[in-house]
Structure 1
Amino acid sequence: MPKFDKKRNKNRFKPRFQGKSNRPQVNREYQHQNQLREIDVGITKFINTFEGFSGVIKARFSDFQVNEIDLNGQIAKLTNLEIPKVEKVEKADPPVDSPLSQIPQEIWAALKQILDESEPPLVELDVSEMTKENRTEVHQSLKKYFSGKICANTETKNDKKYMTFKKCDAKSDNRLSWPKDKGEFVHFLVYKECLDTLDTSLRIASCLKIAPANLNYAGVKDRRAKTTQWFSVKKVAPWKLMVKTRPIRNVKIGNITFKDKPLKLGDLTGNKFRIALRNVTGEDDLIEKSLNSLKDKGFVNYYGLQRFGNDKEVPTFSIGIQLLLGNWKEACDVILKLTKSDQPDLDISKAKKVYVETGNAEMALKQFEGKNSSIEYLLLSGLSKEHKNDYVNALSSIPRNTRLLYIHSFQSLVWNLVASKRIEKYGLNAVEGDLILLENPKKTSENEGEDCDENKKIPVKALSADECTNYTIYDIVLPLPGYDITYPENLKDCYKEILENYGLSLEMTKQKVRTYTLSGTYRKLMGQVQDLSWKIMYYNDPNFNLIRSDLEELKGEEEPKSVEGGKYKALVLEFCLDSSSYATMVLREILKTDTSSSSHAKLNNYHVATTPEKNTSEDNEEFSDKTGLLSDSQKYEAFKNIVFSENETGLKRKCEEENEEKAKIVITENFYTDSK
């Protein structure tokens, strides 16, 4: 029997991404951090005149649930965790005769002989008379019959083109051929808890050992929530997709289908929200009037606070400004800036501190215990690999979608500021100079405002005085700044003043680095909710679950019911929004309160003085949210510090720690059936 190597095997079954629960816990007092508030990003106006009422947003992440709505109007709902059966197709052996007229028989025989010899000779083929299409067919034939074991290069000798063939040094492609009756793009649902879309994609890519760019999704979903959305990836076996990703805590993959095309950003019509507001103080009559007004009048279609990050010291738009100005070093410095909210015992904080003090990326990178999915780690890796002054290439180490979010964040800031000015100056009626769309542009999801160089210019029209009575405030659009949009004459000076304050101009001229060039787009000034419904519930336990998730329904758990005579009141909302609208802005319209997490942290102590301590056995159920944080005052202080701080890494770490012992991996019979 072979000897068990403890050193080699001790980490064998640990997931690549782990929480830091092995570190000593540090007791920290909760301190109000310098968070962004709505007024900081131009969110100032309301539509209805009803008095607001108090209610806690996201007291638990299970209180905020989002399901994507695809282009066909289907709601993304996790209903199937089984691995689909796919008939295996073995790769074909190379035929005796050459399959292409472009490859002479003697060359084909020599190619087959290459694989059988330890030191095969170089094989050359004169391709001077071949077109590019002919050469492509040769490459495809090699890939089909030799599985990447033979490499081909085209070079010029004595004014002639030759294709040279040799045995590849790299590992050959041993995968099975893809079934002809299946689309080569695997589409699958990702159900996640307390993780954002970008982080989730990095984790999935790491488990599959592919580049994150190979994963596609239609939109970015909230982090502090339970969400379900579509992803796609090219030619990854379903069993591998399901099994290899099982170690990722708080993520479930299912509903696998096959399609001919990948997902693209914007391939959705909207999102369905199910939201619970806790400790609601408003009278039922006021709640009903406010919600009926919301149903009829809608809300100002502001970009929500999550668009801008949490930290007032380093909002995402501050990075976007530097990218738009072409200040690459300054952009890196802002990303790696050490802020007051950084927890000093975290690897990221240590690395940022070293970089700020020394400017040495390699030294800063050593502060991480291992490979990390954070933006800071990726940027430091890029800085350590590239020339120390090549900040453009270093920035490309950060996923493209993340870099786009930085510049879109600045566009969103400008839009919010102008929207508030428009309502303040002209009210809620269409006025001369307002812009309307002449056709409906393609949905651009949460990334509305992305660089649209590939898209045709969106036609708009400025209203004349005579036309204003034919349109309403719900028809009006405002542009997001770019080089290819039309500014409304009645607000042009406002745009000009805001952009010039940040060193930019109305023209937003193209940059040499195309990624950071924005053509601009348009966004409706007003948003409207669809399929709005609500119910009042009562509860005694602050940990009481108010909404059943997709996963809980799949497990057969019952829908939560209101507790008769319950101590606390909750409002449970269900509605759909267009893909670029923010649910928090809907909640803001009825609550009339700031939606920042720091504001709601102050409201979330309603239970502390009245909830008795109780001994509860820890629930080992996967993805359990019944951790007792809200019924223990000590735990509650730690909860406020981590959950409501600006440091997103702190929250991620907390979520992983709380679930580390609870996330059990259940290997089903499908594993043994499909992975053999």
Structure 2
Amino acid sequence: MASSSLGSSHSSFTCVLKHRYGDFVVREVDPDGQIASLTPQEASEDAAVHAACNAEREWEEETKKAHAPTPSADAGAEAHDNNEKKRTHEPASLEEAMAAARAVVVEQTESNVDAEQLQALVDDAVNNKQNRSLTLPTPLDDKTKRTNVHTAIRLLSEAVEAAHSLSLVSCSAKNGSDDDNKHRIEVRVVAAGSKQARDSQRRKNGSPAIPAHVAFVVRKTNVDTASTARALQSMLLPHGAQGKGNARQHHHQKSAAAAASSIPGTVTFAGTKDKRGITYQFMSAARTFPRYIAKAARKLRGVAVGQFKVVNERIYLGNLRGNRFNIVLRNLADDAQANADKACASLRQSGFFNFYGLQRFGRGVAHTHKIGQMLLANRPDAAVRMVLLACDAETALSEADAAADDAGAPRGAWPTGNLEAALAVTKTRPNDSFIEKDLSIALRRRVEAANSTRRKDPTARGWLTREELAAAFSESLPKTTCMMYLHAFQSAAFNAAVSARALAHGSAPARAGELVLVDEDDGVGGGGGVEDLCDAEEEGGGESLPRVRLVTEQEAEANAIPASRVVLPLPGRFCTYPLDAATLDAYAPFATDAGINLQRLRTRLAWLEKHDNDVGAALRALAGAGGNDGAVVDELEGRKGKHPLLTVAALPGAYRKVVCVPQDVEWRFVRHATHDEDLLDVCGNVLSARNVESKSAPEQGDVCGTGSLLSLCVDFTLPASAYATMAVRELTKQPSDTLVP
């Protein structure tokens, strides 16, 4: 990553970031501009349960109205007649209702036993006020007969509820091994207004029995986003579904959208956030009730939920406009105040180079972008070694090749004996190392199958092939985790290209051959992020990418386009690449390391030079044609021996701004007495400056509080996928890895 900044004249200064969790508050901003928030009152356990119940009641009222019949203008008399007919068939008392139900049961089952048992069930429940259940002994193969019995029981339930606040719920019994048991009717006595009673009433009205999706806000403190979603999901999934191979396989065979719609309890989120800090995030859970989410969150440390709302669509990764940050930079020197004030003004005016932060690539030796590189290079054996053994890419490759050579296996395969030794290491991993544990479980199954085959046939191969390793990798891990490694590879390539651009042109306006968005040609926009790291299967491939064009020589000579409009691609199938040599060359090493062929791009450039000596005219012609036909990464589809999820064929690519300009930048200085004093509340407000207006002018900022220590509180909004640590890096002109203690 280049160390150059945007060229602001302020000097560097030292500070401490994330000294306390409350020093880094992040709140997501949804596509409608709403900021995720939970007040301390809303985040309490009792308030969360109360809000969940209110959301359920609102949903029930809406679904009841949505599924209520809409009478025509001339249907009043007919509706009145139907109501009168219904009243004449409704029993006036419990005794009459019981007699009518008995008559129907005897008529449909042709047996008095069922009617007698139904009578005994109701009498016992009424007298003892306890829940009871009964399965009518006579099987009913005729659906019409079953429907008549269900109708009779519902009418009886209305009378029982009116007299004793109990309800009867009937359904087809399924607790048995014999075939005819599927056609027996089970009757349960439950409390009126209970979940079972409401579900039965919703089915009677034709409305859905369970919400499609529940959206909610999560506030977490020092907790990882994926771990939070995983913990909630494990408690919301149906009993026994989590961890089973068939459920996991079903999840990966379908697209993420379909899986989230079909598996109850599946939790999705809009974006991943730092663990160290207080974050407010939008999440959704499929086919569950808000109260279950509230109860599950009570069992998680550092997690609070609220703002429940039943919705028809899930929240998907990337469904954000941006994030609002409230950050404290502590331990400023007294003479650094004027310099820091100047830095904040420069950040608001010019922004910062839009690098991906270090958290994108991990902090261990097994960097996520290197794992993605191994997957793209068709070396899943090395990728698996990096995940399981936490080693670097070079070590993983050398050990993988040595193990294959010793066993006489082809390169890329992993001998089962050597693999078993590696799997033994994962047993010592912490409980939160779910990626390693899930991957090791899938690999153990394949090793056991391979060893079983070898015991029967000693001549059978004693290793797992590349195809088997890639399949185990993609099928054992959530799709978002697999794509994380590929996106990290794209991010590393982007960072290299931005570094090349910064070193070659700095913050100068756009140069000829660089890319800008067509949608911003009218002067709208600037400084935001346009990245949408989606996969082609869900989002339709290249059709989802924004249109780009090349900057002409005339525009470059006139400095007509600022650097904040320049975009660079994240490598993918449908990306257009810039013709600026300094930037373009930065992609070559990544393409070579991953085994990606950029020859078609090179061919396109050679064609331009050969057929048009006027480079400016060639650029204009290419820009007019859209430029999307030749500059693509090819030889990505149909590469044999690779799982489809682990190839660049799954990535259409994306575009990202080179420079990001924050919005709504505000800052103030705070003096305090102790190093560990809380300066922000959980909502990101400065505790000692509730009545102090934030700065709106570039001169020296406001100072509030008393004490010998000086800190800077800065607030700003960034587009989705932009990193606040890179903004702080621009502010302080210090490497981002030295800011966090």
TM-score, normalisation: structure 1: 0.65
Distance 1:256 1:291 in 2: 37
1:233 to 277, 281, 285: 285
Cα pair distance change 1:379/1:285, threshold 3 Å: same
* Conservation of the 8 A alpha-carbon contact between 2:139 and 2:180: no
Distance 2:445 2:339 in 1: 60
Cα pair distance change 1:558/1:183, threshold 3 Å: farther
Superposition pairs for residues 313-328 of structure 1, below 5 Å? 313-328=365-380
Task: Please name the residue that 1:566 is paired with.
Answer: 707
Query: Are 2:680 and 1:539 aligned?
Result: no
2:479 to 381, 400, 405: 400
State the 1:451 CA deviation: 2.5
Superposition pairs for residues 515-664 of structure 1, below 5 Å? 515-516=645-646, 517-550=650-683, 564-596=705-737, 599-600=738-739
* Conservation of the 8 A alpha-carbon contact between 2:141 and 2:183: no
* Conservation of the 8 A alpha-carbon contact between 1:47 and 1:297: no
Cα pair distance change 1:235/1:421, threshold 3 Å: same
Instruction: Select between 276-285 and 301-310 the one with higher mean Cα deviation.
Output: 276-285
Task: Please name the residue that 2:566 is paired with.
Answer: 476
* Conservation of the 8 A alpha-carbon contact between 2:531 and 2:654: no
* Conservation of the 8 A alpha-carbon contact between 1:47 and 1:299: no
2:360 to 299, 302, 307: 307
Superposition pairs for residues 273-312 of structure 1, below 5 Å? 273-281=325-333, 282-311=335-364
1:249 to 282, 288, 301: 301
How big is the alpha-carbon RMSD for the aligned residues of Structure 1 and Structure 2? 4.3
- 2:306 alignment partner, SS class: strand
- 2:25 alignment partner, SS class: strand
Superposition pairs for residues 158-237 of structure 1, below 5 Å? 167=182, 177=199, 180=207, 184-209=212-237, 214-237=266-289
Post-superposition CA distance 1:357-394 (Å, at most 9, x none): 7634764565469x656211111122123356332332
Cα pair distance change 1:57/1:165, threshold 3 Å: farther
Distance 1:489 1:123 in 2: 73
Superposition pairs for residues 456-467 of structure 1, below 5 Å? 456=543, 457-467=545-555
Distance 1:544 1:168 in 2: 67
Distance 2:685 2:351 in 1: 32
Amino acid at match of 1:525: V
Cα pair distance change 1:447/1:248, threshold 3 Å: farther
Distance 1:221 1:298 in 2: 21
- 1:51 alignment partner, SS class: coil
* Conservation of the 8 A alpha-carbon contact between 1:274 and 1:572: yes
Cα pair distance change 1:315/1:363, threshold 3 Å: closer
* Conservation of the 8 A alpha-carbon contact between 1:545 and 1:560: no
Unmatched 5+ stretches in structure 2: 61-107, 115-133, 144-168, 189-194, 243-250, 252-259, 261-265, 393-415, 451-463, 599-632, 693-702
* Conservation of the 8 A alpha-carbon contact between 1:267 and 1:445: no
Cα pair distance change 1:446/1:190, threshold 3 Å: farther
Task: Please name the residue that 2:533 is paired with.
Answer: 449
Distance 2:597 2:709 in 1: 52
Task: Please name the residue that 2:696 is paired with.
Answer: none
In the alignment of these two chains, the number of paired residues is: 496
Task: Please name the residue that 2:509 is paired with.
Answer: 429
Instruction: Select between 574-583 and 536-545 the one with higher mean Cα deviation.
Output: 536-545
Cα pair distance change 1:317/1:438, threshold 3 Å: same
Unmatched 5+ stretches in structure 1: 1-38, 90-108, 125-143, 152-163, 341-354, 605-676
Instruction: Select between 215-224 and 453-462 the one with higher mean Cα deviation.
Output: 453-462
Post-superposition CA distance 1:521-567 (Å, at most 9, x none): 110111011111111111222211111003999xx999699885422
Cα pair distance change 1:251/1:43, threshold 3 Å: farther
State the 1:168 CA deviation: 10
Task: Please name the residue that 2:588 is paired with.
Answer: 496
Cα pair distance change 1:447/1:475, threshold 3 Å: closer
Task: Please name the residue that 1:624 is paired with.
Answer: none
Task: Please name the residue that 2:78 is paired with.
Answer: none
2:29 to 69, 81, 89: 69
* Conservation of the 8 A alpha-carbon contact between 1:216 and 1:262: yes
State the 1:49 CA deviation: 3.1
- 1:253 alignment partner, SS class: strand
State the 1:165 CA deviation: 9.1
Cα pair distance change 1:394/1:564, threshold 3 Å: same
Post-superposition CA distance 1:5-64 (Å, at most 9, x none): xxxxxxxxxxxxxxxxxxxxxxxxxxxxxxxxxx4xx56544423211111111122211
Post-superposition CA distance 1:85-104 (Å, at most 9, x none): 33598xxxxxxxxxxxxxxx
State the 1:273 CA deviation: 0.2
Query: Are 2:515 and 1:487 aligned?
Result: no
* Greater helix proportion: 2
Distance 1:223 1:118 in 2: 57
* Conservation of the 8 A alpha-carbon contact between 1:217 and 1:232: yes
Cα pair distance change 1:383/1:283, threshold 3 Å: same
State the 1:449 CA deviation: 3.2
Distance 1:401 1:588 in 2: 28
Cα pair distance change 1:467/1:368, threshold 3 Å: closer
Cα pair distance change 1:290/1:363, threshold 3 Å: closer
Distance 1:445 1:471 in 2: 17
Amino acid at match of 1:385: R
Cα pair distance change 1:484/1:447, threshold 3 Å: closer
Structure number with larger C-alpha Rg: 2
